Structure 1
Amino acid sequence: MTTGEGTVPDEHEFARSTEPFRRELLAHCYRMLGSLDEAEDLVQETYLRAWRSYGTFEGRSSLRVWLYRIATNACLTALRNRGRRALPSGLGAPADDPDAPPEHGADPDVAWLQPIPDSLVAPQADDPAVIVAARERLRLALIAGLQYLPPRQRAVLLLREVLGFPAAEVAAMLGTTTPAIKSALQRARARLDEAAPERERLSEPTDPYARALLEQYIAGFENADTKALERALRTDAAIEMVGTRTWFSGIATCLRYLAQVSGSPGDWRMTPAIANGQPAAAAYLHDADGTHRAFGLGVLTTTPGGIARITVFGGGPRLLARFGLPPVWEPPLAG
């Protein structure tokens, strides 16, 4: 059978050929968009476009390159006339009064960065170096920094430096010339260095010290123990609450804020997770009847010197469901 776009592909052959690239395409679209929800939609659109055009795919490039071309251009179309997704620390100076009533609710004027579960995009590989490299390409600081780049510069930087495509292939993907790609890459590098000049190397979430910091953070919160939290934080630590413009910097200010929100022992329950290649804590807050219900996710920036940043994403049960977690806290299984 034929259509206006060529022969209708065999469904099983199409799936067998293209499905192995779905996870890495999701990671690519997420890096482009800063939104898991939008990235999933764009991956679906990529596969729909690829299905419709599969009969005309002549193998002049690899199937992987072809799919990345479709996905990248779909993302560029989605990003037209759209502002960047942000974290609170990218919108203004830190607040200096943690004793003031905390800001609640979302800011409708800002599109916020979203976290991504590692489980959705981690490469299915046995090589630890491949896994470490994939995590580094999902760090929150990098995703936030990419948002400062114009969409085409963002695409060039990702395709060239993150994914390692040759300049000539990137030029073909984007319908431009190799010199134009090289020029765009130089501008993207310079702009990213201005937007996020301090991209320090972070501890791996599976590193024993990072796991110990996460455990200390969880225990400190669950027991309302600010001394434990103080031991886990760096002196220059920061806390930001995505969905509001509120964030704090410096351990003294952060601890005053944490002392308020941690409440009393037992108010919070937390479950370890991994998001954006970083250790995270899924948080459950007790309600009036004593049930601990899904609140959100705290993503930790862990370094050899302690926790440098806590990025808190609200989102309740819908967010935690993306991490395979229930809407109501469940105690860990014994043993």
Structure 2
Amino acid sequence: MEPAGVRRLVEAHYSDVYAYCRRHTESVDEAEDAVQEVFLRFVGASGRYRDDGRPLAYLLTIARNVCADSHRRGAMRADELPCDEVLADPSPGSGSADRLSAVRRAVRALPDEAREIVELKFDQGLTAVEIARVTGLSRFAVARRIGSALSDIREALASEEGDA
């Protein structure tokens, strides 16, 4: 891919890749390092990349691998994902702030794979086919896991409302 094409790709998808990496790192600095590594790996692999019109799934696949590599090295802790920075807070003082906090807790309580699929679907806006490419699952498995995760989130919210 030519330098102008890479520049356009970085400009178009930097914030999406950063959001993904931020959720899977402990700090802003680690996320920025991970994003830089993602685009370096992309440039290094550009001979193998074929532009199919939606490169975000390819970039998020690289991001997933970069974050997993860093996690294995002990630089990240997956049990403390900073979702608060990714999801925008509603206006202060509204009842929806409590609801959003409850949704965040329910998402954090999901198993790692389910949480990642939900984030890819709803934070990154990927389709089931694109999520399948990122995760290595079939699109049918992705659809089943999204349905199951949403059911778990609904149950957690209903349980929390019942406790209140």
State the match for 2:10 in structure 1: 18
Q: 1:179 aligns with which of 134, 140, 151?
A: 140
State the match for 2:28 in structure 1: 36
CA displacement, residues 161-214 of structure 1 (integer Å, 9 cap, x when unaligned): 3333221221122112112112221232234345565899xxxxxxxxxxxxxx
What is the distance in 2 between the residues matched to 1:69 and 1:34? 20
Is the 2:114–2:145 Cα contact (8 Å) retained in structure 1? yes
Structure 2 counterpart of 1:85, which letter?
Answer: E
- C-alpha displacement of 1:50: 0.8
CA displacement, residues 248-275 of structure 1 (integer Å, 9 cap, x when unaligned): xxxxxxxxxxxxxxxxxxxxxxxxxxxx
What is the distance in 2 between the residues matched to 1:33 and 1:198? 29
CA displacement, residues 99-156 of structure 1 (integer Å, 9 cap, x when unaligned): xxxxxxxxxxxxxx5864xxxx8xxxxxxxxxxxx6259x883555433223221221
Q: TM-score, normalised by structure 2?
A: 0.67
Structure 2 gaps, min length 5: 91-96
Higher helix share: 2
What is the distance in 1 between the residues matched to 2:132 and 2:34? 21
Aligned residues: 150
C-alpha change, 1:114 and 1:17, in structure 2 (3 Å) is closer
Structure 1 counterpart of 2:146, which letter?
Answer: L
What is the distance in 2 between the residues matched to 1:167 and 1:114? 21
Q: 1:85 aligns with which of 80, 87, 112?
A: 80
Is the 2:38–2:63 Cα contact (8 Å) retained in structure 1? yes
Higher strand share: 1
State the match for 1:49 in structure 2: 41
C-alpha change, 1:166 and 1:154, in structure 2 (3 Å) is same
Is the 1:26–1:43 Cα contact (8 Å) retained in structure 2? yes
What is the distance in 2 between the residues matched to 1:83 and 1:136? 22
**Structure with the greater alpha carbon radius of gyration:** 1
Matched, 1:156 2:117: yes
- C-alpha displacement of 1:54: 1.5
Q: 2:54 aligns with which of 49, 57, 62?
A: 62
C-alpha change, 1:21 and 1:199, in structure 2 (3 Å) is farther
What is the distance in 2 between the residues matched to 1:75 and 1:49? 13
What is the distance in 1 between the residues matched to 2:70 and 2:154? 25
What is the Cα-based RMSD across aligned positions, in Å? 3.6
What is the distance in 2 between the residues matched to 1:144 and 1:199? 10
Percent identical pairs in the alignment equals 27
C-alpha change, 1:199 and 1:17, in structure 2 (3 Å) is farther
